[in-house]
Structure 1
Amino acid sequence: MKKTSNPMTVHSPVGPYVHQVINTGMPLKWVTISGQIGMTKEGDIPETGAEQFKLALSNVKANLKAAEMEVKHMTKLTIFLVDEIDLEIRKECLASFLEGEETAMTLLYIKALANPKLKVEIEAVACK
């Protein structure tokens, strides 16, 4: 069973995440999703970070589905950004992706990704 928590002994979350995801009982299945980039199945990479962000989230969701899981099973999301993406666009994309679910989340700004065209990479962990 997945339970989320924000301990009163630390600051409130500053974004759409929770400080803790606690899984009780023995999970039947864990899936660790490698960094998903903003690339289509055909290999196309959109030019903007916002488009890549939406596509990378879609790729995470496709991986969850392939593992017979849903967003509600996610326990951790790690987002790597090379460039700033408008905060409101980022919030809208995450809200749409999370579908009201809560998860632990880390956002990192980094210098570069493996391909100079890439601006976004997202990793995820899920269990059920």
Structure 2
Amino acid sequence: MPITLSNPAGVHTPGAYSHAALVSGATERLVLSGQVGTRPDGTPVEDGVAQIDQALANIGTILEAHGMTKANLVKMTVFLTDPALIPAWRAARGAWLGEHRPASTLLIVAGLADPKFKVEVEAEAAK
């Protein structure tokens, strides 16, 4: 696979992410729009923790539709409207990604485009 995740010497040791993701010789790059807690039938998930799970499920479905898996993820950007959701995000991310550690950014924001959503996750993948 053309993805190398790295944590160079001279930079602090990261948590459950990598400082860099080098994509060498990739033939395909997939950029995903921000995914929120919307079920396949278009209905929103109410609870913030369930929204996290649904956003990750949506990402998995999109990856699969393009012949990719979580192992192809090189970057995730997460927007939370409530800092109390950080532990739930970290637990869900760890369970969902396993040992894969793409580059990652987590932001606490005042709100998303629709106030019923508490979580939005953007992602990029390559193969």
Bucket of the pairwise TM-score, normalised by the shorter protein: over 0.9
Which residue does 2:22 correspond to in 1?
22
Q: Does 1:116 align with 2:115?
A: yes
Partner SS, residue 91 of structure 1 = helix
Distance 1:91 1:114 in 2: 23
Alpha-carbon RMSD: 1.2
Residue in 2 that maps onto 1:46 = 45
- Structure 1 gaps of 5+ residues are none
1:1-128 counterparts in 2 under 5 A?
1-13=2-14, 15-24=15-24, 26-84=25-83, 85=85, 87=87, 89-128=88-127
After TM superposition, which residue ranges in structure 1, 4 or more long, deviate above 3 angstroms?
none
- How big is each residue's C-alpha offset from its partner over 1:32-84, in whole Å with a ceiling of 9 and x where there is no partner? 00000111011222222111011001111111011110110111000011112
Gaps of 5+ in 2: none
- TM-score, reference length from structure 1: 0.92
* Structure-1 separation of matches of 2:7 and 2:109: 27
Q: Per-residue deviation at 1:92?
A: 2.3
Identity among equivalent positions (%) equals 35
DSSP-derived class of the 1:12 partner? coil
Q: 1:99 offset after TM fit, Å? A: 2.7
Moved more, 117-126 or 1-10: 1-10
SS in 2 for 1:102: coil
Q: Within 2, Cα distance between the matches of 1:51 and 1:30?
A: 28
**TM-score between both structures, scaled by the size of structure 2:** 0.93
